[in-house]
Chains A and B, each alone.
Chain A
Amino acid sequence: MQRIKQTAIRIYGWLELRLQLEAPVKDAALHSVPRNTASWWYVFGSAAFTLLFLQIFTGILLALVYVPAAGEAWNSLNILNHQIPLGWFLRAMHGWGSNFMVAIVLIHMAQVFLFGAYKFPRELTWIAGVFLLLMTLGMAFTGQVLRFDQDAYWGLGIGASILSRVPFIGGGLVHLLLGGPIIAGATLSRFFALHVFVIPGTMLLFVFLHVWMVLKLGINEWPMPGRLVRRTTYIEEYHRQAHEDGIPFVPGAFWKDLTFSGAVLAAVAVCAFVFGPFGPGGQPDPAIIQTVPKPDFFFLWIYTILSYLPPSMETPFILIAPLLGIAFLLALPFWAAEGEKSWHRRPVALLAVSTIAVCWGVLTHLGTTTPWSPHMSAWSSDPIPPHYLQIATPLVRQGAVVFQAKQCRNCHSIGGAGGERGPALDEVATRMTIDQMRFKVVTGGGNMPAYGKNLSPAEVEVLVSFLETLHPANEPPAYDASRRTIETSQADDGATTRTNRNATP
């Protein structure tokens, strides 16, 4: 035992003589920080740092199996999921790690913003942070593409269509992004290089700078209302505070960072264990159209905005809004380098952060819950609930067939099954008369396609006689009073097109 210890000390001494790391590490660990920074509010940065290394570690393991070739990528993920023991867990850790990282980086940023930590002299730290945020999002996006399933196709399609709107050079940018005019093998190689070499490399560099500055400039003190930042006096004041009322960084503040990072890692593991990996969804094949792909969680809000914007607004919004946002973030520390740090005295900042958070939440919620796309297979797979047809006549039954065959079901649900682009039609007869329904079907309107040209007169008739039966048993269909007279006079006509709900054999 004694011998081992001595050998260890000798090896350490040998290394230290050459590397000389002990002094700087000690410096960094023991440097004194203001006591009030040892707060649970200050743990997000280190958690993001930890997650970055989780991502690098799991990413390297994934890269051992993943094949970045168009024909193979999807298969290799399925091999990870199903053949390699715990391969699915590894994928799940990486996937959930990425979601957590985006979330933690955003929270970190909001906290830094609210605590005024971007002010003098930490402007550059903030700017490096903005780039780190962009790179984190870039990693999330490129990572989703590497899955190379239908969702990836979708995400790329959106990305490409955003780029293609750039005036003059749009086509060139798309070409650059995809490695060609379309999504193909070259696209995957390109994204692999970005996701594995380019972005992580740059990111590590920026993380190093970011942390270096945090160490050198000191951790931002807890903002006190009324204590203003001035370029001339701030550094001196900070040092006074750090020494008069300070504690060494390790372990004074560090144990909270460690605990929180550990908790975050545990949370990632629990999510991975319980919810499993993301995808791969269906194979990425433009020929397969029986799916409704959706982007990953963090990009859902873009999806929502895109579907809500009127087409004329899309291009300006998509191209200009993100640039303005980034420009604002970069300019912020110069524009507001001095002054009040405390959120108690910065109502606008507080309001801005909460507005953005609420908007983001609402848009994401809409993105997850609103059924934007029609249900592509409802017409052939969702049966009409049998009791809707129990007392149907041949005409009504044929109407139900037309309803399915013309794919009305893809947008309209019946009995809870079917698309939800249009209103559910279970009780449509109570809100519309047969003439109104006929008119709606033929002329469309308000996102409802006009079927006038695609339906024969007989099809329209059977269709509306089916729709007319769609009302609860105890509530009669809407009725146009002036029709009753005409109808009674037709009652004996064998070829009548009206439907009698009470028909029984």
Chain B
Amino acid sequence: MRILVPALLALSAPFLGGCGHAPGDPPNPILRPSTVTDFTALYSQNCAACHGANGQNGPAIDLANPEYQALVDDATLRKWISGGMPGTEMPAFCQSHGGMLTDAQVNALIAGMRKEWLKANAFGAAAPPYAQAQAGDANRGAQSYRARCAGCHEPTRQQVTSADYLSLVADQTLRSIIIAGRPDIGQPDWRHDGPVGNATTALSTQEVDDIVTYLGSLRNVASGQAASSAQGGR
């Protein structure tokens, strides 16, 4: 008896004292999916598959690019995330558009991206605007393309000009990529387009407009979904 009591106490000590440490003590309760507002959780659950684990190195545009974050405003982000980019593979996430996320969660995503990925002064110079403001000219665009892009995008090797590729991406996506670049895959921003490592001047807004118009004209619309319906920011 004299041994038994201390022995029992010793055995039950983990229960009485540090019961938080028992291996079987369950961790936090499972949250309702719609109450999660942690950016990392939301991003890795909903976006990482296409935009890459940390906003880069995914197949779709790298959201972690500070220049992209500087280029785009909150309202535009909200619009694309909530409603998707029509005609592209970017899905709608907001419940009001048939997705899974609440407005609060979309806002949490935007706030999180800004906090993690936006850097002050990402742009050295004033960039062309996010959305295209005036019509471009495909012929001029073709010339600019040859001068500023083709050096890297030699047609047989890389299919930026492939009708199939173009029919699946929106003009706006092309524009975002041309202006902000995609550092994760080696696509330079608008200041550095040109013969490899040898860009003397930044692309003008006009040139960006023209190149996007040119690429758009190569699209085989019949082959893809109507891709250019996702134009413009606001």
Contact = CB atoms under 8 A, between A and B. Distances in A.
Contacts of B220: 458
Given A380-B45, A380-B49, A398-B165, A85 B160 contact: no
Interface in B11-69: 14-15, 19, 22-26, 28-30, 32-33, 44-50, 52-53, 57-60
A389 interface: yes
Contact of B158 (A282, A404, A503): A503
Interface in B148-172: 152, 155-165, 167-169
Interface stretch (A226-234, A270-278, A347-355): A270-278
Contact of A505 (B22, B89, B152): B152
30 contacts: A81-B29, A88-B24, A92-B24, A280-B30, A377-B45, A380-B91, A381-B45, A382-B48, A382-B49, A384-B58, A386-B52, A389-B57, A389-B185, A395-B159, A397-B59, A397-B185, A398-B59, A398-B164, A398-B169, A401-B60, A401-B168, A404-B89, A405-B91, A409-B49, A458-B164, A494-B162, A495-B218, A496-B156, A496-B159, A505-B152
Contact of B19 (A85, A379, A381, A399): A85
Interface string A129-141: 0000000000000
A398 B23 CA distance: 45
A288 B162 contact: no
B206 interface: no
A105 interface: no
A276 B23 contact: yes
B46 A380 contact: yes
Given A395-B162, A503-B158, 17 more contacts: A82-B26, A89-B19, A92-B24, A272-B24, A273-B22, A275-B24, A282-B32, A380-B46, A389-B57, A395-B159, A395-B165, A398-B165, A405-B50, A458-B165, A458-B168, A494-B162, A495-B164
Interface string A451-471: 000001111011000000000
Contact of A288 (B24, B33, B218): B33
A241 interface: no
Interface of A: 78, 81-82, 85-86, 88-89, 92, 272-277, 280-283, 285, 288, 290, 377-384, 386, 389, 392-395, 397-402, 404-405, 409, 456-459, 461-462, 491-497, 500, 503-505
Contacts of A503: 157-158
A488 to B, nearest CB: 12
B86 to A, nearest CB: 13
Question: Sorted from nearest, which 7 A-B pairs have the closest CB atoms?
Answer: A276-B24, A494-B155, A400-B59, A405-B89, A386-B57, A458-B224, A458-B164
Interface in B180-214: 185-186, 196
B225 interface: yes
B164 A381 contact: no
B100 A290 contact: yes
Given A86-B19, A389-B59, A381 B155 contact: no
Contacts of A392: 59, 185
B83 to A, nearest CB: 15
B59 A86 contact: no
A290 B52 CA distance: 21
B53 A383 contact: yes
A457 B91 CA distance: 19
Contact of A492 (B28, B45, B156): B156
A402 B57 CA distance: 16
B157 to A, nearest CB: 5
A273 B23 contact: yes
A88 B26 contact: yes
A458 B223 contact: yes
A484 to B, nearest CB: 16
B158 A383 contact: no
Contacts of A394: 158-160, 162, 165
Given A381-B48, A384-B59, A394-B158, A88 B168 contact: no
B23 A505 contact: no
A92 B223 CA distance: 58
Contacts of B169: 398
A169 to B, nearest CB: 38
A143 to B, nearest CB: 18
B69 to A, nearest CB: 20
Nearest to B99: A380
Contacts of A85: 19
Nearest to A378: B49
Given A457-B223, A497-B164, A89 B15 contact: yes
Contacts of A404: 49-50, 59, 89
B186 A505 contact: yes
B48 A273 contact: no
Contacts of B157: 393, 500, 503-504
A393 B153 CA distance: 10
B46, B48, B157, B165: most-surrounded residue (chain A CB, <10 A):
B165
Contacts of A290: 33, 100
Contacts of B152: 505
A456 B156 contact: no
B47 A380 contact: yes
A381 B29 contact: no
A376 to B, nearest CB: 10
A281, A283, A380: most-surrounded residue (chain B CB, <10 A):
A380
A267 to B, nearest CB: 14
Nearest to A290: B33
A493 B26 CA distance: 61
A496 B100 CA distance: 38
A92 B30 CA distance: 17
Contacts of A275: 23-24
Contacts of A277: 24, 26
A456 B165 contact: no
Nearest to A377: B45
Contacts of B91: 380, 405
Contacts of A389: 57-59, 185
Contacts of B59: 384, 389, 392, 397-401, 404
A402 B28 CA distance: 36
Interface in B68-110: 89, 91, 100
A453 B218 CA distance: 25
A458 B28 CA distance: 46
A492 B154 CA distance: 11
A504 to B, nearest CB: 8
B201 to A, nearest CB: 21
A273 B13 CA distance: 13
Interface string B133-158: 00000000000000000001001111
